[in-house]
Every structure is written in C-alpha cells, then in structure tokens.
Amino acid sequence: MSVRFRSLGLFGSAAALLCLAGCATRAVDVKPAPANPAEFAIWSCERIGDELEDVQKRAADLAYAVDERGGNNIVALGFGLAVFWPALLAMRPQGLEAQDLARLKGRYEALQQAARARHCPPDSLALPPARLAALPVAVGERLVYEDRREGRPRSASTEWTLRVRALRRGEVDYQVEGAAGGVLRHDSAGNVVEAPPGALTWPHLLRSDLTLGQVVAGEMQVSGDPLDRARLRGQVVAVGPQVAAGRRFDVAIVELFGDAQRGERFTRLDGAMVVDRASGLLLRLDLRSAQPAFSLQRRLTRIEAAAP
C-alpha cells in the first residue's frame, strides 16, 4: 500500500471546534433566495443533473450540521439524496446557515426550471457513463475485507465480502455475501445507511467533500439492536492519494473518538476510518472499545473482478 497525504500537524479538539459554532434551533419561513434559470440555459441535462445532486447534498449537510448543534432529530426523517426541502427549511431565519440554505433552495428551483425548459428527463438516480467510468469499482466486483476483533490472534481473522449491485447518484448498493447475507448501502460521503442485522451503520457521521481539518459528528449503530450505539466526534487528519487492493483512491483519514453505549453502560471509544472521497467506499475501519460491538479492525484486502 502506498500513501502520500496532506495531514494536520496537530489533532485539535473536535468538541471545542463544535462549541465555537454556536447554537441553532428549528422554526419556519426560511424563504428561497431567487436564482436566475438563465444561468443554466446552455447547460446539458447531464450537467444540470450533476448540479442538482450537488445542491441537495450541500443542503443536507448544512441541515444536519445545524440539527447536530440544536439537538433536534432531523436524522429520524431518514432522507438521503432525495432532500425533503420543507423539513430543511424549518429552521430559524437568522444566521448564515439560514441564508446559505435559502440560496441553495433558490438554486435548486432555478435548476429545476432550466431542466424543464430543456425538456430533460425526470430526475434519475442513474449515473452518467463518464462518472461511472471514473469510479474505483464497477458493478459486479467483489470487495473482500479482513476483519479482526480486539484481543484475538491474527489467525482468528475472518473475511467479509461485498458484491457491488448498483452504482447510483449519491449511493452505492452491495450484496453482503456469506451466511449473513442482506444488503448494505452507503452514500457518496461514506455513510452506511443500511446494513444487515448485527453490522455497523453510521447514517450521517461523514460530510460530502471531506477536507483537511474538517470536523464531523454523528452516531454509529448496530443494525437491528437499539441498545448498542456510539456517539462520535472526529476530524479529517489527512487527505490524498492511496493505493489499496490494487486500485488508486483519493482518501480521507478521519480520526474518531467518543462513547459507546450498551443500555445504561458507557465506555470510551476511539479509532480511525479511511474512505474514498469519490465514491464513499470504506478502505479501513479501526475501532477500539471495551464494548465488543465497537471493537473491530476491518481492512480492504482485495477487489475481485465481476463474474462473466
């Protein structure tokens, strides 16, 4: 594995940085800031679709960031790329976040008008061929991970295999192979939003377009078990190219810390996560905790070609 990164010299306090952001709570009546559809008149339908996707991801990131500080539960709405705009706009009209969200909503509406004027097909989750070709994996390929649990010898490692079922705008869909079976989905930022029972998920821990020094926060959960969960903070401590499993990736390394909870019992958790910034694909996950559900080392070891 070869690595070349830009990294932080010192790892600052993620909690302190979050506190600097201030507080926000929900309200109503954030009005869209008008944008001119003529700005997009010469754009192709493919380019308009890409921009619509980007606007929605930025709006969701912004809404989650405000929600994180305000202690609301917008996460429970369960939306991903298909942003529920009325819910996103239900926040106080004061502040930079509300202004930014209003601008994004105005841009979204202008893009929709431009799409109608060009008679573009309805919004589709299908990725354009050029974007599919640029991704580090393809439909049908098998991603094989090595899993190890804390305190067990290396010989006790097991394999965890995912077969790529679909590559869509904003998400990647896998079939989990082996006895467990089931479906796993993550978004383009690397958030695991669906997984088989017993597998780890982190529905909105990461943000799109991870940059050096960026602070993240969210929950990690055990799918199907409401008692096992962890509250995490983190910071992007390195970004750059990395070769793993014979493929080249543009990765972000996120250092994590927080508390794992089992019912009323809390234990310390720390670790790191490595994700591909282009696709959200997980390259490595290291978690250390006295709570067994959150004690795991997972590493991508190889990518196998699709069956003919």
Task: Show the domains of the chain with their CATH numbers.
Answer: 21-117 (no CATH), 130-304 (2.40.360)
> How does pLDDT run across 45-92, given as a tens digit for each residue?
888 888 888 888 787 777 766 666 655 444 444 444 445 566 565 555
Helix (H, G, I), strand (E, B) or coil at 47: helix
Contact between residue 170 and residue 266 where contact means Cβ atoms under 8 Å apart: no
CA 65 – CA 204 distance, rounded (Å): 10
Helix (H, G, I), strand (E, B) or coil at 117: helix
User: What pLDDT shows up at residue 24?
Assistant: 37
Q: Among candidates 134, 130, 151, 175, which has minimal Cα distance to 296?
A: 151
User: What pLDDT shows up at residue 89?
Assistant: 59
Helix (H, G, I), strand (E, B) or coil at 301: strand
End-to-end CA distance of the chain: 28
In angstroms and rounded to an integer, the radius of gyration of the C-alpha atoms of the chain is 20
User: What pLDDT shows up at residue 180?
Assistant: 76
CA 291 – CA 73 distance, rounded (Å): 26
Amino acid at 94: Q
Q: Among candidates 66, 75, 70, which has minimal Cα distance to 201?
A: 75
- How many Cα atoms within 13 Å fall on the side-chain side of residue 255? 13
Query: What residue ranges in the chain does DSSP mark as E strands?
Result: 2-3, 6-7, 142-148, 158-168, 171-176, 183-187, 192-194, 200-201, 215-222, 225-244, 247-262, 265-276, 282-289, 296-304
Can you give the pLDDT of all 308 residues of the chain as single tens digits? 444 455 554 333 333 333 333 333 332 345 667 788 888 888 988 888 888 888 887 877 777 666 666 554 444 444 444 455 665 655 554 567 778 888 888 888 888 888 888 888 876 667 888 888 999 999 999 999 999 987 655 557 899 999 999 998 888 999 999 877 899 999 999 999 999 999 999 988 998 889 999 999 999 999 999 889 999 999 999 999 999 999 999 999 999 999 999 888 899 999 999 999 999 999 999 999 999 999 999 999 999 999 88
Place of tokens 């679709």: 49
Lookup: tokens for 244: 């793993």
Lookup: tokens for 119: 């008679």
Helix (H, G, I), strand (E, B) or coil at 96: helix
Neighbouring CB atoms inside 10 A of 77's CB total 12
pTM for the structure as a whole: 0.75
The H or E element that residue 143 is part of is strand 142-148
Place of tokens 């305000």: 70
